[in-house]
Amino acid sequence: MVNLGMEKKPTRAVFLDRDGVILPDKGHLLTVDAMTVTRRVATCLKELREAGYLLIVVTNQSAIGYGWLTFGTLNAIHAKMQKELQRGGAYIDAIYTCPHTAQDGCLCRKPKPGLFKQAIVEYNIDASRSWMIGDRHSDIAAGHNIGAWSLLVQSPDDLEKAVKSILAISDILAAKI
């Protein structure tokens, strides 16, 4: 194929944390058998795809760095996750994993943007038209660090506490407590 100087238009993506967003967060997921995907999640991801978004998982997996999980088992977990999502009509375009612990000081562990930048280049993603969906503040900070919009997934109890604790005011003079 000949490139006639036409650039491919940047696309938009939804970057997704894995645990707590696609999969229930049960701590470190160390076995394939412990992995579950709900039909609700598959339906949601299918709708995002139909809306024109790429679906990119960016996940910190320090269990590898600690030696509790191998890349082979991680790949098997992700293969089962993809299979379960496909049963619901959804699929993930790519999965980017940071295997390091928080103490390693790498550039790929969220909230650092290393894995996001790699995906942005590989998939020609316009971060300003994209979203990050995660269940931790590090996920939201990662979205901010690449210029994407962010959504924080929280349990109903946590969400109620967060909403009660946040009020927006124009300046300190408007604070009438």
User: Does 19 participate in catalysis according to the annotation?
Assistant: yes
Supply the DSSP string of 46-85, one letter for each residue: HHHHHTT-EEEEEEE-HHHHTTSS-HHHHHHHHHHHHHHH
Candidate list 19, 25, 33, 93, residue with the active-site label? 19
Q: Look up 17 and say whether it is catalytic.
A: yes
CA angle 153, 159, 161 (to 5 degrees): 150
Report residue 51 CA to chain centroid gap.
17
CB 130 within 8 A of CB 15: yes
**Which residues are known catalytic residues?**
17, 19
